[in-house]
Structure 1
Amino acid sequence: MTNRPNFLFIITDQHRADHLGCAGNKTVKTPNIDAIAAKGTRWDRFYVANPICMPNRASIMTGRMSSAHGARHNGIPLSKDHTTFVELLRDAGYRTGLIGKSHLQSFTGLPATNQFEPAEGLHTPSPHLRDAKKNNRQTPEYDLEVLPKWDRPLADRIDGDFYGFDHVEIAADHADQASGDYALWARGQRADFDQLVGPDNALPDERINAPQAWRTAVPEDLYSTNWIADRSEAWLAERAGEDAPFFLQMSFPDPHHPFTPPGRYWNMYDPQEIELPETFGKGHLPPIKAMQDAMENGTDPRDNQNPFAVTQDEARSIIALTYGMITMIDDAIGRVLKRLEDLGLAEDTIVIFTSDHGDYMGDHGLMLKLLLHYQGITRVPFIWHDPTSPTGGQVEQGLGSSIDIAATILARAGVQPYNGIQGRDLHSTEPPEAVIIEEDSQRTMTGFDRPQRVRTIVTDQYRMSLREGEEWHELYHLTSDPGEIENLYDKPAGQTARRELTELMLRRIIWLQDRSPLPAYRA
């Protein structure tokens, strides 16, 4: 391998750290991802900077916390004023490609939850003065991923690169409702493709009865996971024989809800053989109780992005379907890795695997994500295999964060990072004493009377989460209580740790304050 290696960066969506065979899961079949880990290094304690899609993907791209790059929650695009590590790779001569999910911009097209409201009796500022930042990311250049406007490929609607990517082929949204460039292709394969997707067109199956789960009529060969693998193989084939190194981000929309693995993957796992999490039905936090009550009373539709409670049978069914989605992804990864080998590119290509956040997946009887920073949604896979320095299945126990991905890739590519990057090179620096996780919700959800602002600190032994405006907070000893059941925040046994963690959280947040921009003049 030259000093400028290629990179294959594989990212899934809503994929827990423990939903891999190499992480100790004895049910889900992931032999190809396991093989990457067997040759490289798997980080066992790798955490998101923000447990929501858009903010954490922006953190991966910039190496910065959402409080620094400003994409605090879904609905706020990553500003083009913020530098991405992919732009630096491109600047250094790399060919850059993105195939699959981007989600650096919004794709629903729905009106914003929080908008500027004119106050009675006061002069209302002009539109360009209603936000602290004048470039408020609401111009047409930030509507590129909006699904209702996706009438032609994204590549035809941009001038130049897309956040540093020379080549883009996008699958937006999730499961059998994935859209974007992928849907344009699928409609070209079958004129009736739109009559195959969604619950109204689902195939009959009485075996599964769970929220947001249906047996899709989309065949395996037309499903987004397969398309992403096909297009990635094609892009890699074009790189064979080129002198320039490449960076390919292969980004799967699954195993995110709705739960719709196609074909043989639908019934690959038997719900009756799925073990429930040890914490199922355990947990006394106010929102858990509220979600359980809403399920029992039938007042929670459980058909949107908000977390919800499930029954034991529903949890087993959803976990089984999620495993099917994961195994389909693993099969697709295997195809692409074989293509790398066949093209003679494998020995020059570093392979990385991660996800943007996790899912409760039955922990405490809940599904999806948001609001409660349990390990299931904040801890994600991170695997690195460099063929020039195979580490033979090493497991790294030090803390890592999604903000570290950019700095680590840049360091290995021999590219100096930009001022203001907040992550560290995972290979040449010592793990931090703690990592910080941020979340700022934009809407009120079951169990709360206001949108939530949460800050979490994770150390080797503890997780503590503090909330704005709430009378309760969380503190767990992760070694003695890995299921995060006994909240020590207000208990005498937790007071020493609470004081020490509060100071450490403050110090870490100070350290993460923005160092950009550089000064224009010497003082």
Structure 2
Amino acid sequence: MTGKRTNFLLFVTDQQRADHIGAYGNGVVATPNLDALAARGWRFGNAHVATPICMPNRASLMTGRYPSAHGARHNGIPLSLTSNTFVDTLRRAGYRTTLVGKAHLQNMTDIPPSWPVDPACRLPAEARSAPPGRYDQENRNKWLTDDAHGLDYPFYGFEQVDLVDDHSDLVHGDYRRWLRRCHPGAETLIGPEHALPAPEYELTRIHQAWRTRLPEELYPTTYIAERTIEQLRSSAGRGEPFFLQCSFPDPHHPFTPPGRFWDMYRPEDMPLPPSFHAPGEPPPHVRWLHEQRDRGTAVRHTPALFACTEREAREAIALNYGAISHIDEQIGRVLAELRALGLEDDTVVIFTSDHGDYLGEHQLLLKGPIHYRGLTRVPLIWSEPRCAGGGVVEDALLSTIDLATSILDRAGVPRYNGMQGVDLSSWMHPGRVPEAREALMIEEEGQRVILGFQSRIRCRTLLSEGWRMTVYDGAPWGELYDLASDPIEACNRWDDAGARTVRARMMERLCRSMLEHVDTSPYPDALA
């Protein structure tokens, strides 16, 4: 290592499964740049989200805290502007902090959280307003209609942001302003109403995919890579270290990979997940989705999960792979520039995603409050500068909350109060005792009443001893899977007399984990 302070380049994708990368064993999708990054770094095979929902998990990444601790429990609840983030901690320690791409720490729409407040209850004054600050900074309508609308800096610690929020070719933020300014008329190419014909794709009929007319060079993924490269060039030669986050909105649905990436993979060539035709009785909420599909009453055109057909699953996988290969190509360009600028030997490079997607697993598409591992397990690659070779850590239970802790520890910057993660870099240094977990908790707080439940879904999952257990608030049933003998989570052992001891032990560990992650300090994590 040199005497310089370490830089950090963090890549984040949106809604990408861990097993949709070549380095994680996928033999179909082409991800040569991510595979090379994993080969010279560390690939963690059992990393999971703090919650499989975009806004709260991104807030967990920023704070190193569970949603129940930082308060942004589900989409629509912004992360408090008074929250401590590891990015702001780096900034105050002398780092140049920049975000290019998706933030989603505040609500992007005008739709309030849908779970109603009881009108008979009177809210105290402090509950009627958010903490001080602007919570409309990522609002889509304001970005599209008011050229003066923007972010207040530092934005959760970022000194500069090139914002690219939302999904598909319909993203907003600085990208849309660039498109209007530099490519007049290009906005008429975006959206399903302007898409190229693709009648052979069933997903286009329900607006879960469309063949964008935007060329590859104008697509958001390419723009984000270009702006990231410009930020690297701006950082080169400066005396200050940098933290640069490159955050892609893809491969999240709707699926709109541009140009050659649309048909890079043929749906008919895509293998279905092993669980698609798994035998046995699915749990009640999955069965409810299957019944809705079979009766022809499923809602399939919204962002909510639904039960899919074989053809829909194969199309989604093919288009998802196309988007991932596009991202991989752009990451390769960024990493090539990092080398060309002479920054590679002083920069930690990290790759992860905010959550996964079912993509045909158990005949489901998109995401929701059903904690199959395709949804909760995310890629996590950490590449150290001047590292002759990395390794593979398959069994360590790691979480999104660990990244904040790990980056601060690697930077030599003290942690702040309230952080709940462990330092994953302890796995990378011989002689150090890893901060191992016996169990890992995943939270979920739902907004809506769905899947046959009588109230909004609230659930907690525990991973421990090679098992996965999920309990639902108000439900007399749960889920319990032996992942060693049943890796596709097809046989629910919740009511199995032979698994009663395991279930009891898992319940005790879940209780202890929930207690462990409640704030105990009298001092807040927030800034003074």
SS in 2 for 1:485: coil
**How does the TM-score come out when normalised to structure 1?**
0.94
**Larger CA deviation: 142-151 vs 322-331:** 142-151
Aligned residue in 1 for 2:187: 194
The Cα shift of 1:476 comes to: 0.3
Correspondence for 1:303 among 285, 301, 304? 301
Aligned residue in 2 for 1:207: 200
1:313 matches 2:314: no
- Counterpart CA distance in 2 for 1:461 and 1:157 is 46
SS in 2 for 1:252: strand
**Larger CA deviation: 241-250 vs 179-188:** 179-188
1:512 matches 2:512: no
Correspondence for 2:455 among 423, 441, 450? 450
1:240 matches 2:236: yes
Show CA shifts across 1:81-111 (max 9, x none).
2100001100110000000000000102223
* Stretches of structure 2 lacking an aligned partner (at least 5 in a row): 427-433
Correspondence for 1:489 among 487, 491, 494? 494
Show CA shifts across 1:350-405 (max 9, x none).
10000000001100000111111000000000000001344334334211011000
The Cα shift of 1:446 comes to: 3.4
Show CA shifts across 1:450-495 (max 9, x none).
2100000001410000110112100000000000011111111210
Asked if the contact 1:63/1:405 (under 8 Å) is kept, the reply is yes
- Counterpart CA distance in 2 for 1:506 and 1:3 is 44
Correspondence for 1:343 among 331, 341, 344? 341
- Counterpart CA distance in 1 for 2:214 and 2:106 is 26
Kindly tell me the number of residue pairs found equivalent between the two proteins: 512
SS in 2 for 1:455: strand
Aligned residue in 1 for 2:504: 499
Which consecutive aligned stretches of 4+ in structure 1 deviate over 4 angstroms post-superposition?
Answer: 151-156
Show CA shifts across 1:427-448 (max 9, x none).
2332100110000000122333
1:180 matches 2:180: no
- Counterpart CA distance in 2 for 1:54 and 1:333 is 23
Aligned residue in 2 for 1:64: 65
* Stretches of structure 1 lacking an aligned partner (at least 5 in a row): none
SS in 2 for 1:12: strand
Correspondence for 1:376 among 364, 374, 377? 374
Aligned residue in 1 for 2:97: 96
- Counterpart CA distance in 1 for 2:21 and 2:123 is 52
Residue identity in the other structure for 1:508:
S
Correspondence for 1:223 among 216, 219, 224? 219
- Counterpart CA distance in 2 for 1:510 and 1:276 is 39
- Counterpart CA distance in 2 for 1:109 and 1:516 is 35
Query: What percent identity do the matched residue pairs reach?
Result: 49
Q: 1:154 to 1:333 in 2, by over 3 A?
A: farther
Correspondence for 1:165 among 158, 161, 164? 158
Residue identity in the other structure for 1:36:
L
Aligned residue in 1 for 2:392: 394
**CA root-mean-square deviation:** 1.9
SS in 2 for 1:217: coil
- Counterpart CA distance in 2 for 1:325 and 1:154 is 30
Asked if the contact 2:17/2:377 (under 8 Å) is kept, the reply is yes
**Larger CA deviation: 147-156 vs 357-366:** 147-156
Aligned residue in 2 for 1:136: 130
Q: 1:152 to 1:337 in 2, by over 3 A?
A: farther
**Larger CA deviation: 254-263 vs 155-164:** 155-164
Asked if the contact 2:99/2:244 (under 8 Å) is kept, the reply is yes
Asked if the contact 1:144/1:154 (under 8 Å) is kept, the reply is no
**How does the TM-score come out when normalised to structure 2?**
0.93
Asked if the contact 2:45/2:392 (under 8 Å) is kept, the reply is no
Aligned residue in 1 for 2:429: none
Aligned residue in 1 for 2:410: 412
1:249-260 mapped onto 2 (5 Å cutoff) = 249-260=245-256
The Cα shift of 1:125 comes to: 4.7
- Counterpart CA distance in 2 for 1:355 and 1:168 is 19
SS in 1 for 2:249: coil
1:17 matches 2:18: yes
Aligned residue in 2 for 1:357: 355
SS in 2 for 1:437: strand
**Larger CA deviation: 249-258 vs 169-178:** 169-178
Aligned residue in 1 for 2:431: none
**Larger CA deviation: 503-512 vs 357-366:** 503-512
